[in-house]
Amino acid sequence: MSSHGAPVPMKSHAKGPLKGEAHVPGDKSISHRALIFGAMAVGETNISGLLEGQDVLDTAKAMQSFGATVENLGDGNWRVHGVGTGGFAEPDHVIDCGNSGTGVRLIMGAVATCPISVTFTGDASLNSRPMARVTDPLALFGTRAVGRSGGRLPLTLVGAENPVPVRYETPVPSAQVKSAVLLAGLNTPGETVVIEKEATRDHTERMLAGFGAEISTEVTEEGRVITLKGQPELKPQTIVVPRDPSSAAFPVCAALITPGSDVLVPNIGLNPTRAGLFTTLQEMGADLTYENLREEGGEPVADLRARYSPDMKGISVPPARAASMIDEYPVLSVVAANATGRTEMTGVKELRVKESDRIDAMARGLRGNGVSVEEGEDWWAVEGMGPGNVPGGFTCETFLDHRIAMSFMCLGLSTKEPVGIDDSGPISTSFPIFVPLMTGLGATLETD
C-alpha cells in the first residue's frame, strides 16, 4: 500500500540513451533541519531550495503544530517564524511524521526537553522502525517515553521539566540519533556531549553553528566528540538548501548502465559524509567526473557528469565508507548487477532498519529479475552479469520504500525485459519530480 493512497504500479523499459541535465531537488536532510532549527530560533528564517517531498512537508506541519509559523512562499522558498529553544507549545493532536525516520527522530529530540507531552505516529513503515535508539538517550535527560513494546511508534514523549545534560556514545552509526541528542541538549543547561565512533553526516553540527550555537567537534581516539553548550539563543538564518546527492545518485547510476548515455547533474553537494557512492562508482571504473568543483557555503559542490560505462568491475566496498553512502546501497546494487564480477558490501546492518529491510527488499527484486545475491545479517554481495545482461521481467515489491522503488526503475533501463514495481507512490517522500526528471532524460517509465 502507498502511504498516501492506492498503490500505483510502474514499469521501466530500456529505450534510447539518457541525455541532458538533471536538476535534482533540495537535500532532504538539510531541508528537515532548516525547518526544525528555524522553528527553534528567535525570529524569521528564510529558506530557498527546500525539498517539497512528503517527508519534509510532514516536518513543516509538525513545526506548525508546536506553534512556529511556517509559510510556503512558492518556488521552493519558505519562511519560518521560530519560537525559540524550549518554546514549543503542546499540540492538541497526534504528530504524524508519515514515512520519515529523520523527521520523527529529530523532532523527538527537539521536544524532549520542553515541558510538554507529545504523541507521535507514522505510516506502517515508520511504525515498524526502532525508536528506542532515540528514546534511550533521551531518558538520560529525564524524558519519559510511553509506547508500544519494542520501542515502536505510536509513542508519547513526556518532556523533561528539569533536564540534565548528558554525555552519550552512540551505539549505532546514526546521524538521526546524534542529532536527536544534540537537539535535546539545546534546551538543557550545561554541556551535552555526543561521541560517535564512525563519522555520520554532519549537517546538524554545521547548521547549529550557523544558527549561532556553541558547538565543537574534536577527533580523538574515542571517535568524534561533539560538545554543545546548552540554552543558546538561536539566531534566524537565510538558508540555501543544496541539491541532494542521494537523489543525484539515481540519474547518475541510470546513466552509467544505459547504453549511449551522457547526463550532467549540476550543483551537487559533495560533503565527505555524504559522497561515498561517487567514490565507490569511480573505483568500479565508472565514467563519472566532477566538473566545476567549487566551494559553496563552506561545502564542496560540483556538477556531476555520468556517461555510459560498460567496463565497470565489481569491488569490495569498505565498511568504513558505509555511513557516507548508507542510503545509496540499493541503487549501487543495481549498478553492481550490470558490472563484471562480484560486488561485496559489508558493515551494512543499518540497511535492515530503514523504510524497509533494504538488503532483503533488493535481494528479492534482483533475484526475481535474474541476478544472484548472497546475504548475511551485516553484508550482502551481488554477482555482476556484465552490461545489459540482466534478464528483468519481474515485478518487485517496494515495501513503502522510495529508494527501493527508484532503484528498480533504474534497473529496468538496462534489462532485456521491463522491470516493474508494485507501488511508485512512496517516491514522492524524497524525490517528487523523479518521474518527469527521468523521462525528460529519455527514460521510459509507465504506470499501468
The annotated binding site for 3-phosphoshikimate is made up of 28-29, 33, 174, 176, 327, 354
| Among the residue ranges 12-20, 73-81, 95-103, 145-153, the one whose residues contact ligand PEP (CB under 6 A) | 95-103
Supply 430's cell numbers: 524524497
Contacts to ligand PEP from residues 20-39, by CB under 6 A:
28
Contact set for ligand S3P, span 349-368 (CB under 6 A): 350
Q: How far apart are CA 343 and CA 444, in angstroms?
A: 27
Least distance between ligand PEP and beta carbon 429 (Å) = 7
Give the nearest distance from C-beta 100 to ligand S3P in angstroms. Answer: 9
Question: Closest distance between ligand PEP and the C-beta of residue 329, in Å?
Answer: 10
Q: In this structure, are residues 29 and 327 in contact, taking their beta carbons and an 8 Å threshold?
A: no
Place of cell 546524534: 178
Which residue positions form the known binding site? 28-29, 33, 101, 129, 174, 176, 327, 354, 358, 403
Which residues does 229 contact at the CB level (< 8 Å), separation at least 6?
Answer: 190, 191, 213, 214, 215
Q: Among 192, 183, 263, which residue's Cα sits nearest to residue 229?
A: 192
Q: Which amino acids are annotated catalytic?
A: 327
Smallest separation (angstroms) from ligand S3P to the CB of 285: 27
Among 27, 196, 287, 327, binds ligand PEP (CB under 6 A): 327
Binding segment (CB under 6 A) for ligand PEP, from list 69-77, 100-108, 111-119, 298-306: 100-108
Structure-derived torsion over alpha carbons of residues 386, 392, 397, 399, reported in degrees to the nearest 10: 30
For residue 399, the minimal CB distance to ligand S3P (Å) is 16
Segment interacting with ligand PEP, rule: CB under 6 A, options 80-88, 98-106, 295-303, 336-344: 98-106
CA 430 to chain centre: 8
Question: What is the smallest separation between the CB atom of 328 and ligand S3P, expressed in angstroms?
Answer: 10
Closer of 38 and 442 to ligand S3P (Cβ): 38
Show contacts with ligand S3P in window 130-169 (CB under 6 A). Answer: none
102 interacts with ligand PEP by CB under 6 A: yes
In angstroms, the CA 218 to CA 359 distance is: 34
Q: Which residues contact 83 (CB under 8 A, 6 or more apart)?
A: 39, 40, 42, 66, 67, 68, 89
Bridging pattern class, strands 262-269 and 19-21: parallel
Rounded to an integer, what distance in angstroms lies between the CA atom of residue 401 and that of residue 360?
12
Residue number of the CB closest to ligand S3P reads 29
Number of residues that bind ligand S3P (CB under 6 A): 11
- Residue 100 interacting with ligand PEP (CB under 6 A): yes
- Count CA atoms closer than 13 A to 382's CA, side-chain side: 33
Q: Is 174 in the site for ligand S3P (CB under 6 A)?
A: yes
Supply the DSSP symbol for 89.
P
Rg (CA), the chain: 21
Residue 96 touching ligand S3P (CB under 6 A): no
Which residue shows C-alpha cell 515502536? 152
Cα(369)–Cα(387) distance, integer angstroms: 14
Closer of 276 and 420 to ligand S3P (Cβ):
276
Q: Which of 403, 414, 425, 426 binds ligand PEP (CB under 6 A)?
A: 403
Most distant CA pair in the chain, distance: 63
Instruction: Work out what residue 179 binds among ligand PEP, ligand S3P, none; the CB cut-off runs from 5 to 8 Å by kind.
Output: ligand S3P
The site partner of 358 among ligand PEP, ligand S3P, none (C-beta below 5 to 8 Å per kind) is none
**Residue nearer to ligand PEP on the CB measure, 284 or 326:** 326
Residue by residue, DSSP assigns 392-428 as B--EEP-TT-HHHHHHHHHHTTTSSB-EEES--GGGG
Q: Which three cell numbers stand for residue 282?
A: 569511480
Q: φ and ψ at 289, to 5 degrees? A: -125, 155
Encoded one letter per residue, x for contact with ligand S3P by CB under 6 A and - for no contact, window 305-344 reads ---------------------xx-----------------
Which residues of this protein are in contact with ligand PEP, per CB under 6 A? 28, 100-102, 327, 354-355, 403, 430
